[in-house]
Amino acid sequence: MRRNALCSCDKHSFFVPLRLCVRIFLGALLCFALAAPAAALDHVTFSRDGKTLGVSGRLLVEAQDGGLLMQARDGVLWAIPPDEQTEHTSDAVPFKPFAREEIVKRVLGELPANFRVHQTAHYLIFYDTSSAYAQWCGALFERLYMAFTNFWTRKGFKLVEPEFPLVAIVFADRQSYLRFSRPELGEAAESVVGYYAMNTNRMTMYDLTGVEARGLNGGRSRTSVQINRILSQPNAQRTVATIVHEATHQIAFNCGLHIRLSDCPLWFSEGIAVYFETPDLSSAKGWRGIGSVNRPRLERFYRYLAARPADSLETLIRDDSRFRDPKRSLDAYAETWALTYFLIRQHPKEYVAYLAMLSHKKPLLYDSPDERLDQFRRAFGELKQLDAEFLRYMTRPR
pLDDT value at position 291? 80
Residue pair 211/221 in contact (Cβ under 8 Å)? The answer is no
Q: φ, ψ for residue 230 (rounded to 5)?
A: -70, -45
Return the CATH number of 100-257, one of 3.40.50.1860, 3.50.50.60, 3.40.190.10, 3.40.30.160: 3.40.30.160
- Helix (H), strand (E), coil (C) string for 156-221: CCCCCCCCCCEEEEEECCHHHHHHHHHHHHHHHHHHCCEEEECCCCEEEEECCHHHHCCCCCCCCC
| The one-letter amino acid at 245 | H
CB neighbours of residue 133 within 10 Å: 26
What is the chain's alpha carbon radius of gyration, rounded to the nearest angstrom?
Answer: 21
Return d(Cα 361, Cα 41) in angstroms, integer.
Answer: 23
User: Model confidence over 357-391: pLDDT tens digits?
Assistant: 999 999 988 999 999 999 999 999 999 999 999 99
One-character DSSP codes across 13-31: --EETTEEEEB-PPPB-S-
Per residue, the 3-state secondary structure of 51-79, as one string, reads EEEEEEEEEEEEECCCCEEEEECCCCEEE
Distance of CA 334 to the CA centre of its chain: 18
Q: Which residue ranges in the chain fall short of pLDDT 70? A: 1-39, 211-222, 284-286, 288-289
* Euclidean distance between CA atoms 283 and 107, whole angstroms: 32
| pTM beyond 0.85 | yes
Strand, coil or helix: 126: strand
Domain 3-91, CATH: 2.30.30
Is there a shared CATH topology between the 3-91 domain and the 100-257 domain? no
Q: Cβ contacts of residue 157 below 8 Å, gap of 6+?
A: 257, 352, 355, 356
Per-residue CA distances from 258 to 3, 86, 268, 360, 392 (Å): 19, 32, 10, 8, 30
DSSP β-ladder status, 194-197 and 19-22: parallel
Nearest-5° Cα angle at 179, 173 to 184:
120
258 CB contacts (<8 Å, ≥6 apart)?
252, 264, 269, 358, 359
What is the pairing mode between strands 41-48 and 202-206?
unpaired
pLDDT score of 246 = 96
pLDDT in tens, 207-235: 999 766 544 444 454 688 888 888 888 78
Nearest one of 263, 199, 207 to 21, comparing CA atoms: 199
Q: Which helix (H) or strand (E) holds 4?
A: strand 3-4
Under a CB-based contact definition with an 8 Å cutoff, are residues 339 and 391 in contact?
A: no
Sign (positive or negative) of CA dihedral 6, 9, 10, 15: positive
Structural domain spans, the chain:
3-91, 100-257, 295-394
Question: What local confidence, expressed as pLDDT, does residue 288 receive?
Answer: 67
Give the helix/strand (H/E) hosting 15. strand 15-16
Q: What is the pLDDT of residue 267?
A: 98
Asked if 234 and 212 count as a contact pair (C-beta separation under 8 A), the reply is no
Q: Is 325 helix (H, G, I), strand (E, B) or coil?
A: coil
